[in-house]
Amino acid sequence: MKFGIIGNTDKAGLADAVEALIQKLDASNESYVLDREVFSLLEGKSKKSSAGRCTTVDECVGEADILVAFGGDGTILNAARAVGPRSTPILGVNLGKLGFLAELAPDEIEAAIGDILKRQYVIEERLILEASFPSDSGKKTHALNDIVIGKSSYTTLIDLETHIDGSFAVTYRADGLVLSTPTGSTAYALSNGGPIVVPTSRVIGITPIAPHTLSGRPLIVPDESSIRVIAHANGDEVSFFADGQLAASYRSPVEIQLKSASFKAKLIKRVDRSYFDVLRAKLMWGKDPRGV
């Protein structure tokens, strides 16, 4: 089994965490490759790095049986984007604050790798969204968390004419719209009043951003659905974001078509940890904020 190692070099503690992984892999005689930026960071801090060959992220993905990503959820989203249809399993190590995707703590690396080498782990398949733009033939973008339709002007509301499987559903008048996977239900959708969705569920969430009317409510549809949204913003530009990254901007009216991608992301999870364990830990779910 070969491991690919990537990470966010801006995160404190990255070098020590990667070194702990390398020591475990060396002791187990397992092979690995490192992204060039991680490799350079280890050399700069006089950490052991000679056993792992320096490569690009794309080469890491291409050679690895398992991709280990150190950072926060943004690092995992970037890793999923790099993996794409190859569907290389990703193990996330959280060096950030919250971390729903990168839920493994640095002090759990040795035990987690031991479990993986013994084949004692779970691979969860996560829905990927695929968005296309009829006015821009051939352009597609993918997202593990969400596709967000946003406005370019602070004062402009967008009319978001939403169709599901060819049938008109609703026109949201709002600041924008979040089209989310179950994985992304705890991201931007949640902050806009969307529900928490168990990430293995087969659904897509549609959540308006600051709707202009109280009747603008979130909607959950099956993941087999074909979603079509026509955005009207009085001729202003409308921007589209995939997992927080700007994917495209067009002058309105503009149409986006969205469906489940033909491939899924694969995240490695520990056998002894459930999604509800993560919710309780990360959101202090069920805790009394008064501390009583």
Q: What is the CATH number of the domain that holds 270?
A: 3.40.50.10330
For residues 250 and 137, membership in a common domain is answered with yes
Distance CA(4)–CA(57), nearest Å, equals 8
Token pair of 192, please?
């806009």
The active-site residue, picked from 10, 16, 35, 73, is 73
For residues 231 and 141, membership in a common domain is answered with yes
Assess if residue 290 is contained within a domain.
Answer: no
Is 73 annotated in the active site?
A: yes
SS3 65: coil
For residues 152 and 256, membership in a common domain is answered with yes
Per-residue CA distances from 72 to 14, 124, 209, 237 (Å): 11, 18, 24, 31
Which pairing describes strands 254-260 and 227-232: parallel, antiparallel, or unpaired? antiparallel
Edge-first strand order for the sheet with 219-222 is 219-222, 203-209, 176-180, 146-151, 237-242, 245-251
Domain span including residue 17: 2-126+264-283
pLDDT tens for the 292 residues of the chain, in order: 899 999 999 998 999 999 999 999 999 999 999 999 998 888 877 666 555 677 888 888 999 999 999 999 999 999 999 999 998 999 999 997 777 898 789 999 999 999 999 999 999 999 999 999 999 988 999 999 999 999 877 767 899 999 999 999 999 999 999 999 999 999 999 999 999 999 999 999 999 999 998 888 999 999 999 999 999 998 889 999 999 999 999 999 999 999 999 999 999 999 988 999 888 888 877 777 676 5
For residues 20 and 101, membership in a common domain is answered with yes
Assess if residue 292 is contained within a domain.
Answer: no
Assess if residue 49 is contained within a domain.
Answer: yes
What phi and psi values does residue 86 have, to the nearest 5 degrees?
-70, -25
For residues 153 and 142, membership in a common domain is answered with yes
